[in-house]
Structure 1
Amino acid sequence: MNITNIALIGLLSFSVMSCNQASKNSTETTDSSSTETVAANQNAGIGTIEFPEREYDFGTIKEGEIVEHVFTFNNTGTAPVILAQVSATCGCTTPEYTSVPVKPGASGEIKVHFDSNGQAGQQQKIVTIRSNAENSVETVQIKGTVTAK
């Protein structure tokens, strides 16, 4: 009985070590594949977004006025940039943006509308831009003061 137990324990130990080795090999293969994929993406190029202006101060306006401002960006990378999502911090601020891929060397736009109705006081509205660019998350902002009616 003792020899059977020892043999069984030895067999289980061998099985566990074999599983760990297979797991290591699988991880090494995955890491190697990931590295190759990253290298392939680097060879294909990647877009980069650059904003000449990240902040717009609209000064002082009266409550109820609508402010519009266009932020332009340049693709200084080597592949097209696609804007995936552009969102604002509140419902009073609405962005419109370039929906076609922006080729390297070209520029795109993000037009921001701010409705000051019900927004008296100091204002700072941030617009978040998500894209496939190297700098995949960027922000721009509009700010100013709204005087009450």
Structure 2
Amino acid sequence: MILKNILLAFAVVGLIAGCGNQNGTNTNQQVGDSVVSSTDTTASQQQGLVEFEEPVFDFGKVKEGVVVEHVFKFKNAGTAPVILSQVSASCGCTTPDFTKEPVLPGKIGEIKVSFNSLGQVGTQQKIVTVSSNAENRVTTVQIKGVVEK
């Protein structure tokens, strides 16, 4: 009989803990002689958010062989630090360098992109893919323009 009551108490505790706490707030409820406590889940729901000031940079017209550089700045508009895990270019002629430290909420991070126009005559559009732990896990920036002979 005691075992049956203990199992019933655990079942009730499980139901109470599993239901009704959808807003992530901390609640304590009395069940028999026990206090059931659910923890605040908002901390686990916090995420960073990458917002670029200028996701496209048009370098205009340049002569072949010129190296064009541009720094893309982004703000972490989220509530948790953003960590860039990978930044890769669509072409070997484009080289990205990026902020390696976590970017705290409200702070600015940078991605410096260098485009070597040697052998790239004509209209150019190079895409840089940015992977992170942010809410928008994969974002892109692009550098474009015309390379003249």
User: Which segments of 5 or more consecutive residues in structure 2 lack a partner in the other structure?
Assistant: 1-17, 19-23, 25-39
2:28 corresponds to which residue? none
More helix by share: 1
Deviations for 1:77-99, whole angstroms, at most 9, x for unmatched residues? 01000000000000000000000
SS of residue paired to 1:79:
coil
More strand by share: 2
% same residue: 61
Partner amino acid for 1:134?
E
Provide, for residues 20-74 of structure 1, a one-character-per-residue CA deviation record: whole Å limited to 9, x for no partner: xxxxxxxxxxxx8xxx9xx94x533110000110000000000000000000000
Match of 2:91 in 1: 90
Q: Name segments (4+ residues, structure 1) moved above 4 Å.
A: none
Query: Structure 1 stretches of 5 or more lacking a match?
Result: 1-31
For 2:106, the equivalent position in structure 1 comes to 105
Aligned residues: 112
C-alpha distance in 2 between matches for 1:91 and 1:71: 19
CA distance in 2, matches of 1:68, 1:78: 31
Q: Which residue of 2 aligns with 1:73?
A: 74
Structure 1 length normalisation: TM-score? 0.72
Question: Structure 1, residues 108-136: CA drift from partner, whole Å, max 9, x if none?
Answer: 00000000000000000000000000000
Which residue identity is paired with 2:130? I
- 1:133 paired residue number: 134
Q: Distance in 2 between matches of 1:59 and 1:101?
A: 33
For 2:110 and 2:139, locate their aligned partners in 1 and report how far apart those are by CA, in whole Å: 13
Structure 2 matches for 1:49-68, cutoff 5 A?
A: 49-68=50-69
Matches within 5 A, 1:7-18: none
Take 1:52 and 1:121, find their aligned partners in 2: how far apart are those partners? 27
Q: 43-52 vs 99-108, which deviates more?
A: 43-52
2:64 & 2:51 partners in 1: Cα distance?
A: 32
SS in 1 for 2:65: coil
TM, length-normalised to structure 2:
0.72
